[in-house]
């Protein structure tokens, strides 16, 4: 579904991605893990067109999307829910969700998605006309997820959706991701919480300073001693 081939980007002369290649198969949950600053967010931003790749290709459903403006990438079926939720605090919850479906013309589909979101996040329905800025952090994350789903993406990219949430909410977010996936949406997930991410994912890539250094199924990487040491907080004794 998504094939990223040898992309390079740099910020003001500093290479942040040095030849990234990976693929996401339709129907999968794929995760990217790596330390702070490894370039995970940069990959997602490059795919959705916010950051321009200097080199390489990004193919989505067989079509080259590198160089498309961000709003076109979204219209092609890829939605990014970026780091830090970024709900429109000055807009109501209803307006936030409506904007998510702004470019769609299929009224019925929009309504269907709205229903699904209300069913999955009942709190949002209760607060429909409240300003999004008044929601708690967890509720804002749910709204950010809901808003992204309103575009009915075939590929949903999530950048650290569990960041800063209490353990209970973290597991709620993971449960929701599973539901989204069961509904038929392919997911590309970036997570700090490598443990949970690897357990959820079918396939995973490990990133180190702009390069992919390891890949495998979720279980394989969970069992990998190097990964355990670096990302799962398990100390292997020499």
Partner 1 sequence: MDLSLFLQQLLNGISLGSLYALIAIGYTMVYGIIRLINFAHGDILMVSTYFAYFGISVYALPWWLSVVMAILLTALLGILIDLGAYRPVRHAPRISALITAIGVSFLLENLGLVVFGGRPKAFYRPDFLDKTYELGGVRVFSLSIWVPLVTALLLALVFLLLYRTRVGAAMRAVAKDMEMVQLMGIDVNRVISLTFAVGSALAAAGGIMWAMKYPQINPLMGIIPGLKAFVAAVIGGIGNIHGAVLGGLLLGITEILLVAFLPSLAGYRDAFAFILLILILLFRPTGLAGKDTIG
Ligand X SMILES: Nc1ncnc2c1ncn2[C@@H]1O[C@H](COP(=O)(O)OP(=O)(O)OP(=O)(O)O)[C@@H](O)[C@H]1O
Per CB under 8 A, contacts with partner 1 among 35-54 are 48, 50
Which window, 33-41, 70-78, 106-114, 210-218, contacts partner 1 (CB under 8 A)? 70-78
Q: How far is the CB of 228 from partner 1 (least distance, A)?
A: 34
**Cα of 227 vs its chain's centroid, Å:** 21
Which window, 99-107, 114-122, 197-205, 209-217, contacts partner 1 (CB under 8 A)? 99-107
Q: How far is the CB of 91 from partner 1 (least distance, A)?
A: 6
Nearer to partner 1, 8 or 75 (CB): 75
Binding mask 77-96 for partner 1 (x = CB under 8 A): --xx-x---x-xxxx---x-
Rounded CA separation 167/238 (Å): 31
Nearer to Mg ion, 16 or 150 (CB): 16
Nearer to ligand X, 38 or 188 (CB): 38
Strand-pair partners of 212: 207
63 lies in the site for partner 1, by CB under 8 A: no
Helix (H) or strand (E) holding 36: none
Q: Which of 98, 171, 209, 228 binds partner 1 (CB under 8 A)?
A: 98
Nearer to partner 1, 70 or 216 (CB): 70
Rounded CA separation 202/185 (Å): 14
Q: How many CB atoms lie within 10 A of CB 222?
A: 19
Q: How far is the CB of 36 from ligand X (least distance, A)?
A: 4
Beta carbons within 8 Å of 118's beta carbon, 6+ residues apart: 124, 125
Q: Which of 26, 103, 122, 226 binds partner 1 (CB under 8 A)?
A: 103
Rounded CA separation 194/187 (Å): 15
Rounded CA separation 146/97 (Å): 7
Per CB under 8 A, contacts with partner 1 among 119-178 are 147, 151
Per CB under 6 A, contacts with ligand X among 34-63 are 34, 36-42
Is residue 198 a contact partner of residue 224, using CB atoms and an 8 Å limit? no
Is residue 64 a contact partner of residue 208, using CB atoms and an 8 Å limit? no
- Shortest CA distance to 143 belongs to which of 153, 133, 154? 133
Strand-pair partners of 24: 2
| φ, ψ of residue 171 in degrees (nearest 5) | -70, -30
List interacting residues with partner 1 (CB under 8 A). 48, 50, 69-71, 74-75, 79-80, 82, 86, 88-91, 95, 98-100, 102-103, 147, 151
Residues contributing to the site for ligand X (CB under 6 A):
11-12, 16, 34, 36-42
């Amino acid at each position: 579904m998504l094939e990223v081939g040898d992309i390079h980007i740099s910020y003001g002369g500093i290479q942040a991605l040095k030849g990234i290649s990976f693929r996401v198969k339709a129907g999968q949950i794929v995760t990217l893990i790596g330390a702070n600053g490894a370039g995970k967010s940069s990959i997602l931003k490059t795919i959705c067109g916010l950051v321009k790749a200097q080199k390489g290709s990004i193919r989505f459903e067989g079509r080259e999307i590198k160089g498309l403006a961000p709003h076109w990438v979204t219209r092609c079926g890829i939605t990014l829910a970026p780091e830090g939720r970024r709900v429109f605090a000055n807009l109501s919850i209803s307006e936030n969700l409506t904007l998510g479906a702004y470019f769609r013309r299929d009224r019925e589909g929009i309504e269907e998605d709205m229903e699904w979101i209300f069913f999955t996040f009942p709190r949002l329905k209760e607060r429909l006309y409240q300003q999004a800025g008044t929601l708690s952090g967890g509720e804002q994350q749910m709204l950010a997820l809901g808003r992204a789903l309103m575009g009915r993406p075939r590929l949903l990219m999530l950048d650290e959706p569990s960041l800063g949430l209490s353990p209970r909410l973290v597991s709620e977010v993971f449960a929701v991701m599973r539901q989204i996936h069961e509904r038929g949406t392919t997911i590309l997930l970036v997570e700090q919480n490598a443990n949970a991410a690897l357990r959820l994912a079918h396939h995973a890539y490990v990133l180190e300073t702009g390069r992919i250094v390891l890949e495998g199924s979720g279980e394989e990487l969970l069992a990998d001693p190097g990964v355990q040491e670096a990302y799962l907080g398990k100390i292997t004794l020499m």
